[in-house]
Amino acid sequence: MEKKNIEWAELGFGYMKTDYRFVSHYQNGAWDEGVLTEDANVVINECAGVLQYAQTVFEGMKAYTTADGRIVTFRPDLNGERMEQSAVRLEMPVYPKEEFVKAVLKTIKANEAYVPPYGSGATLYVRPYLFGSNPVIGVKPADEYQFRVFTTPVGPYFKGGVKPLTIRISDFDRAAPNGTGHIKAGLNYAMSLYAIVDAHKQGYDENMYLDAATRTKVEETGGANFLFVTKDGKVVTPKSDSILPSITRRSLMQVAREYLGLEAQEREVYVEELADFAECGLCGTAAVISPVGKIVDHGKEICLPSGMSEMGPVTKKLYDTLTGIQMGTIKAPKGWVVEV
């Protein structure tokens, strides 16, 4: 199979149309088998549930070329499971996780020519999504749905690659207690757009959201969970019911313990303690681990000792181990790396 002629190393995090996408329809209470199609457009009624009441959930995954030339993806079963949970919370029919994994593998395989080569710094981003497609005007769930998967080759999520980021504590809230912060629903991202555009205007790379009830605890950013490293080398990640249960974060906690022999804690993290940490990073499929150099709390600068020029040493070890597992140079725990 011949690769497409793409400047892989120049890619940013953007959309590029690839050859095939998967689509399955839900009608009369059942999903059809689904097909690969070359048509990248979705045609739906003007009154579709997704357009009027934002009934849509999605996932984000990546396909990698390993050092020995295989194409793999990372823990797709967990994305399938999370999409089931997202669907339930928005009253959508579950697309079964076993079928989800099959559809993802099939779509990656069909777009093999777009999977960036090993060492290029790029990956193939995979976007499964599910939405209400029939007309709905009273506020209620749709009766018909589409599950789709498309792919797009991507480079780093943040411009500048692994250069430490400057983030601010946001006065906007991302998620309410008992709300939808723990699922991957489009609505959580629509409501974050005002805050991210404003953050960029003010010169920040991202927002740090706090818990909406007390505004004393760290939650996450618009698209990634937080990891902190204490001065005595413990890895700490915020525990909250209103953040997305990041698969990257869950994997990194296991990597910290089992590969690096570090203590790793999931616990409440208070704004008050931010100045005590040695390192901070954002973790997620798109972000991988992006180091944070500075957190600004209403004008007060909290400068992480790891500085503004490179990743902190523990963050770097976590990054190297995780990407080594994903690219096949470090032995993966059973079931983490799935060959396409």
Residues found near ligand PLP in the complex (CB under 6 A)? 60, 220, 223-225, 244, 246-249, 284-285
Least gap, CB of 4 to ligand COI (angstroms)? 22
Q: Which is nearer to ligand COI, 49 or 284 (CB)?
A: 284
Closest residue to ligand PLP: CB criterion: 284
Smallest CA-to-CA distance from 302 within 289, 312, 311, 292 is with 292
* Closest approach of ligand PLP to the CB of residue 336, in Å: 13
- 291 binds ligand COI per the rule CB under 6 A: no
Structure tokens at 7: 């400047």
Phi, psi (degrees; rounded to nearest 5) at 28: 50, 40
Residue 60 Cβ vs ligand PLP, minimum distance, rounded to whole Å: 4
Segment (H or E) for 27: strand 21-27
Q: Is residue 223 close enough to count as binding ligand COI by CB under 6 A? A: yes
**Alpha carbon distances (Å) from 237 to 184, 253, 268, 302:** 19, 8, 8, 18
Q: What gap in Å lies between CA 34 and CA 92, rounded to an integer?
A: 17
Residue 173 interface partner, choices ligand COI, ligand PLP, none, CB cut-off 5-8 Å depending on type: none
CA distance 207 to 7: 31
Q: Which is nearer to ligand COI, 153 or 284 (CB)?
A: 284
Helix (H/G/I), strand (E/B), else coil: 124: strand
> Does residue 284 bind ligand COI (CB under 6 A)?
yes
- 155 near ligand COI, rule: CB under 6 A: no
Interface with ligand COI includes 285 (CB under 6 A)? yes
Q: Which is nearer to ligand PLP, 44 or 187 (CB)?
A: 187
Query: Whose Cβ is closer to ligand COI: residue 92's or residue 136's?
Result: 92
Residue 211 CB, shortest distance to ligand COI, in Å, is 20
Q: How far apart are the first and last CA of the chain?
A: 14
- Binding piece for ligand COI, criterion CB under 6 A, among 20-28, 40-48, 111-119, 282-290: 282-290
Residue among 200 and 231 whose Cβ is closer to ligand PLP: 200
Nearer to ligand PLP, 278 or 322 (CB): 322
Considering the complex, what minimum distance in angstroms separates the CB of residue 53 from ligand PLP? 21
Residues in CB range of 261: below 8 A, 6 or more apart: none
Q: What does 143-177 look like in DSSP terms, one character per residue?
A: S-EEEEEEEEEE--SSTTTTSPEEEEE-SS-S--T
Residue 247's binding partner among ligand PLP, ligand COI, none (Cβ under 5 to 8 angstroms by kind) is ligand PLP
DSSP class of residue 203 equals: T
Structure tokens at 8: 């892989």
Per-residue H/E/C for 228-257: EEECCCCEEEECCCCCCCCHHHHHHHHHHH
Least distance (Å) from ligand COI to the CB of residue 149?
Answer: 13
The letter for the amino acid at 256 is A
Q: Is residue 185 within the footprint of ligand COI (CB under 6 A)?
A: no
Our finding on whether 60 is near ligand COI (CB under 6 A) is yes
Name the strand (E) or helix (H) holding 205.
none
CB atoms near residue 127 (< 10 Å): 17
The residue annotated as part of the active site, out of 184, 234, 239, 317, is 184
Min dist CB 60 to ligand COI, Å, is: 2
Residue 133 or 285 having the CB closest to ligand PLP: 285
Is residue 286 near ligand COI by the rule CB under 6 A? yes
Judge whether 184 counts as a catalytic residue.
Answer: yes
Nearest to 207 by CA among 295, 312, 270: 295
What are 27's two structure tokens? 């009608």
Which residues lie near ligand COI (CB under 6 A)? Answer: 60, 223, 284-286
Active-site residues, by number, are: 184
